[in-house]
Amino acid sequence: VTDIRKLYAQTGMFTYDPGFTSTASCESTLTYIDGDEGVLLHRGYPIGQLAEQSSFMEVAYLLLNHELPSAAELDKFTYTISRHTMLHEQLAQFYRGFRRDAHPMAIMCGVVGALSAFYHDSTDIADPHQRMIASHRLIAKMPTIAAMAYKYSVGQPFLYPDNSLSYTGNFLRMTFGVPAEPYEVNPVVERALDRIFILHADHEQNASTSTVRLAGSSGANPFACIAAGIACLWGPAHGGANEAALNMLREIGTPDRIPEYIARAKDKNDPFRLMGFGHRVYKNYDPRATVMQKTVREVFDSLGVSDPVFETALQLEEIALKDEYFAEKKLFPNVDFYSGVILSAIGFPTTMFTALFALARTVGWVAQWNEMISDPEQKIGRPRQLYTGPTQRDYVPVGER
C-alpha cells in the first residue's frame, strides 16, 4: 500500500486492473464494439452487412486502408495478395522437422516466426511501404502455411497455391485437393468459409491483438509479432474455444444430457464452463454468432449433411438462455459456439479450427500493428504491477538458512 501511495504521489495516477477489464491501451479507428447492445462495426460498417454483402478480401482492404475499395482497387489488391501466396521452398523443409502429430498451431507459431528469416526486405518497420509489403505477405501466406500444416499432419503432399482461384477457394484446394486430381471448389462452402474469415478478421483489443501490439511496441519485426499473436490465440479461453466448444457438444452427444452439463457449468466447485458461451465485452448476443448460426443451415443444406451436434447446440442455447444463472451473468453464445459445427461439416478436423481463426485474424493483427506503428504517440507497452511480495530483508548465507 505504501508503494502505491508513493507511486500515486509521483505520477498522480496508478490503476490496478487485472485482465485490463476497464483500461484502454490505445486509440483505434478500426473496430467498434458495443457489448451491451451486441454491436460490432469495422471502420463504421456493421459486421452483419459485411458478412452478407462483402468478401474477405474487401474487408482486409477496408481494415488495412481505412475505406472500402473501388472495383479497380479491389482487383489490384486481390492480385497483389495472390502474387505473395507462395512460400520459400526451404520452408517446406522446416515442416519436416516437426513430429507428424504436431498440432497445426504449434507448426504455425514456428513457421510464421521463421518468415522473418526469409523476408529481411520487409522488416524495416519505419518504412510504411515495407510495412505494407510485410502485411500483404502475411495475409497471402497464411492460407498456404495453414494448409501445409494440415497436409503434413495427414501425410499428404503439399499443394502449391493456384492463384486463379479466390483467396478462400485456393485455401480449400490446398487443404482438400490432392495432386493429379481435379478439385472443384463448392461455391456455397467457399462463401461460408469466406464469411467465417470475415467474422474473425478483427475484434479490437482482444488478447492476441494486444499481444501483437505489445510485441510490436518494442520494434520487433512483423513476422515475430504475428507469431506471438498466434501463440496467444491458441489458448482455450480465446481462439481455442471453437475446438473446445465442438468437443464439448460431441461429449454432450444428445439433447437429453444438456441439463447435466448446464448444472455443471453453474456449479462453482466444478471448473467446467460452457465453451462458446460468455465474452469479456459482449453482455448480449454476439452479432457474429447470429451470422454463424444461419451459415450452418446453408452449409448443411448445400452439402446435404445433418449432424446431431447442431441440434444439440440449438437446444443447449435455448435452455441456457432461459436459465437464470446465464441471464444474470449475461452469458450468450459467442462466435465460437457454432463455428466448429460448420468447419466440421466442411471437413476440417478440430485441430485446424484455431489455425483457421489465426489465418483470418492475421488481417486484424497486421492492420492493428500498422495503426500502432503509425501513431505518433506510440510507446513501448509496459504495464505496471501491484507488488505483494516481502518487504526489504537482508540476505542470509546458505549455510545459515
Task: List residues near ligand ACO by CB under 6 A.
Answer: 19, 237-239, 241, 265, 273-280, 329, 331, 334-336
Q: Single out the catalytic residue among 103, 194, 279, 286.
A: 279
How many Å apart are CA 45 and CA 253, to the nearest integer?
Answer: 38
* Local structure of 6: helix, strand or coil: helix
Minimum distance of ligand ACO from residue 359's CB (angstroms): 14
| Minimum CB distance to ligand ACO smaller for 185 or for 341 | 341
Q: Is 279 a catalytic residue?
A: yes
The three-point CA angle 237-242-245 to 5° equals 90
- Max distance between CA atoms of the chain, in angstroms, equals 78
Q: Is 336 a catalytic residue?
A: yes
Minimum distance of ligand ACO from residue 78's CB (angstroms): 27
The three-point CA angle 88-89-91 to 5° equals 70
Q: Single out the catalytic residue among 194, 202, 286, 336.
A: 336
For the chain, how many residues are written? 401
Minimum distance of ligand ACO from residue 319's CB (angstroms): 13
* Contact indicator for 77, 215 with CB cutoff of 8 Å: no
Minimum distance of ligand ACO from residue 275's CB (angstroms): 5
Minimum distance of ligand ACO from residue 164's CB (angstroms): 33
Minimum distance of ligand ACO from residue 19's CB (angstroms): 6
> Which position has the grid cell 474469415?
197
State the residue number with the nearest CB to ligand ACO. 278
| Minimum CB distance to ligand ACO smaller for 169 or for 240 | 240
| Minimum CB distance to ligand ACO smaller for 55 or for 242 | 242
The three-point CA angle 200-153-364 to 5° equals 20
| Minimum CB distance to ligand ACO smaller for 192 or for 275 | 275
| Minimum CB distance to ligand ACO smaller for 88 or for 280 | 280
**Sequence-distant (≥ 6) Cβ neighbours of residue 84 within 8 angstroms:** 136, 137, 139, 140, 141
| Minimum CB distance to ligand ACO smaller for 107 or for 199 | 199
Quick one: which H or E segment has residue 48?
Answer: helix 47-53
The amino acid present at 19, given as its one-letter code, is G
**Sequence-distant (≥ 6) Cβ neighbours of residue 180 within 8 angstroms:** none
CA of 5: how far to CAs of 9, 280, 293, 384, in Å? Answer: 6, 30, 51, 14
Count other C-beta atoms under 10 Å from residue 21's C-beta: 8
Minimum distance of ligand ACO from residue 242's CB (angstroms): 8
| Minimum CB distance to ligand ACO smaller for 19 or for 390 | 19
* Residue 330 backbone dihedrals phi, psi, to 5 degrees: 55, 50
How many Å apart are CA 170 and CA 153, to the nearest integer?
Answer: 19
**Sequence-distant (≥ 6) Cβ neighbours of residue 41 within 8 angstroms:** 31, 32, 33, 47
**Active site (catalytic) residues:** 279, 336
